[in-house]
């Protein structure tokens, strides 16, 4: 099986797992993956992650030209912004999970770091997550906003919309996305309970020990 065929199968497998566990619903969310020749595989526009056919997955070149498969998601500028500003990016996942979207709408969410330090794992897998303002779906300005971060964040949360996570591999991007949603859920569940999170010293220890980019 070719590298491209393996990548198509991997996207389809992860997409179904994401859909089956309710991390995105209907025909929402999108995944992209960079191939060794710098072309991208992207989930198609209007497709459901629960019912993808590997052959349907869009393949585009660096200029966004469709090379094979169905027409790609309209969120291409959002994905390419991560590939262009973070050289190590191998995959990007954008979903609409309930708790993350809810956190993006709460007035006391820190726009520079939306996830409170409740566990070490969100810090290890995500670093700081930036809250970006609301954009209309498909607006290229979303990509411009990501580019404005100059590659400093591997994950962002779009207000009233959902998170976007970049990773070195597809596995890493999906696992980081799952961690983001679980931490958002914890944050909401413990919001009025005076939960004891990590101290600043403990956060610094995690950052040092696991070499986290925490700027």
Domain with residue 83: its CATH number is: 3.40.225.10
Cα(85)–Cα(83) distance, rounded to whole angstroms? 6
- Parts of the chain with a pLDDT under 70: none
Domain contains 193? yes
The structural domain count of the chain equals 1
Domain contains 214? no
> Which pLDDT value is given to residue 84?
96
Domain contains 10? yes
Domain contains 215? no
Domain contains 132? yes
Q: DSSP string spanning 151-185?
A: T--SEEEETTTEEEEEESSHHHHHHHHHHHHHHHH
> Which pLDDT value is given to residue 90?
98
Structural domain including 44 reads 3-209
> Which pLDDT value is given to residue 87?
93
Please say if 75 is a catalytic residue.
yes
> Which pLDDT value is given to residue 192?
85
Cα(12)–Cα(15) distance, rounded to whole angstroms? 5
Residue in 4, 83, 121, 179 annotated catalytic: 121
> Which pLDDT value is given to residue 133?
97
pLDDT by residue (tens digit) across 95-113? 999 999 999 999 999 999 9
Q: DSSP string spanning 64-122?
A: --EEESSPBPTTHHHHHHHHHH-TT--EEEE---HHHHHHHH-TTS-TT--S--SSHHH
> Do residues 206 and 118 make contact, with C-beta atoms less than 8 angstroms apart?
no
Residue in 3, 4, 9, 75 annotated catalytic: 75
Please say if 214 is a catalytic residue.
no
Domain contains 171? yes
Domain contains 145? yes
Domain contains 126? yes
Residue 130, SS3 per DSSP:
strand
Global pTM value: 0.95
User: Could you tell me which residues come within 8 angstroms of residue 182 by beta carbon, excluding any fewer than 6 positions away?
Assistant: none
């Amino acid at each position: 099986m070719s590298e491209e065929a393996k990548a198509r199968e991997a996207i389809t497998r992860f997409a179904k797992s994401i859909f089956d566990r309710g991390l995105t619903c209907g025909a929402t969310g999108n995944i992209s993956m960079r191939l060794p020749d710098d072309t991208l595989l992207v989930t198609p526009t209007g497709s459901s992650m629960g019912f993808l056919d590997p052959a349907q997955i869009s393949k585009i070149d660096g200029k966004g030209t469709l090379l094979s498969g169905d027409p790609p998601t309209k969120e291409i500028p959002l994905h390419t912004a991560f590939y262009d500003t973070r050289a190590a990016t191998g995959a990007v996942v954008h979903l609409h999970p309930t708790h993350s979207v809810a956190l993006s709408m709460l007035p006391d969410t820190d726009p520079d770091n939306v996830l409170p330090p409740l566990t070490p794992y969100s810090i290890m897998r995500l670093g700081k997550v930036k809250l970006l303002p609301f954009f209309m779906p498909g607006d290229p300005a979303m990509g411009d906003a990501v580019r404005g971060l100059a590659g400093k964040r591997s994950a962002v949360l779009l207000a009233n919309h959902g998170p976007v996570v970049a990773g070195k591999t597809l596995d890493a991007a999906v696992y980081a996305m799952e961690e983001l949603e679980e931490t958002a859920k914890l944050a909401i569940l413990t919001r009025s309970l005076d939960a004891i999170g990590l101290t600043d010293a403990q956060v610094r220890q995690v950052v040092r020990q696991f070499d986290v980019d925490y700027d």
